[in-house]
Structure 1
């Protein structure tokens, strides 16, 4: 007998990139349910507000029936508890990500030993993409079309002209 697994994939997603989408699509094949959890992260001064990021992500993952998108403004483990999710999904682009992610995973485990962290690496051709680079390139009127889904590209063009 297999158990039903609900995973939370948290992030700021400002904006969602093809790397994020790659992880969501692969997670949707590994887990019964995937919750893309978009952190408010007001301290980061996001380019898109929380509602815009939620709507963009919903549009991007609409083709995945077992994926839902939700925003949150609380401690991540509390969000996972409310969602009845016992797995956190994190992406690792490079070895440089590992130390920070390892620290986060251990802190989350200390806060709630019932929540495990699973790591996925993006497809190789997407491993260099980051939201901050996309924002920077887009803000300087560079072409980010290879790095983001179409709805995100349209939103970036509307934002930057």
Structure 2
């Protein structure tokens, strides 16, 4: 069974994230969305709400699990039996950053491979950072964030 981990802080989980997971199901038998805490990012959603909202979004899909994690992604992959890491790329800046992480992950765990998917046309502009800025300034994010996630956000 091909199991992949899609890890991130997901604050909030966007339509771009959802698209990557759904497209990833064409490559993997199971995807574990691993919600981690990134202390360098200022969040707007409670950690438990991130997990609950993403689980609600994918409720009923047996091929998708949502779990909490801390520490190295490769260590989490080993704990859950995943041989793959799924990551999304919006642009060349993402590639430079994600490539460096993937290369270091290979040094830490040569048996865990990273797969990159390019953002689908029309979704590459979406980032959680921008969405947080729009939300904190009272803007409308209904075209950026699924309603299952938005119901957990209160500012």
| Normalised TM-score (structure 1) | 0.92
- Identify unmatched segments of 5+ residues in structure 1: none
Contact 1:28–1:64 at 8 Å: present in 2 too?
no
- Identify unmatched segments of 5+ residues in structure 2: none
d(CA) in 2 for partners of 1:142 and 1:94?
24
1:69 maps to what in 2?
A: 66
Aligned residues: 155
d(CA) in 2 for partners of 1:134 and 1:23?
17
Q: 1:83: Cα distance to partner? A: 0.8
Greater relative contact order, per chain length (Cα 8 Å cut-off, separation 6+): 2
2:111 maps to what in 1?
A: 114
Is 1:32–2:22 an aligned residue pair?
no
Deviations 1:91-127 (A, max 9, x none): 0011111111110000000001000000001211111
Q: 1:155: Cα distance to partner? A: 2.3
1:91 maps to what in 2?
A: 88
Please give the secondary structure, in 1, of the residue aligned with 2:26.
Answer: helix
| Normalised TM-score (structure 2) | 0.95
Greater helix fraction, Structure 1 or Structure 2? 1
Q: 1:138: Cα distance to partner? A: 0.9
Is 1:13–2:33 an aligned residue pair?
no
Contact 1:37–1:72 at 8 Å: present in 2 too?
yes
Deviations 1:121-147 (A, max 9, x none): 121111100001111101111110000
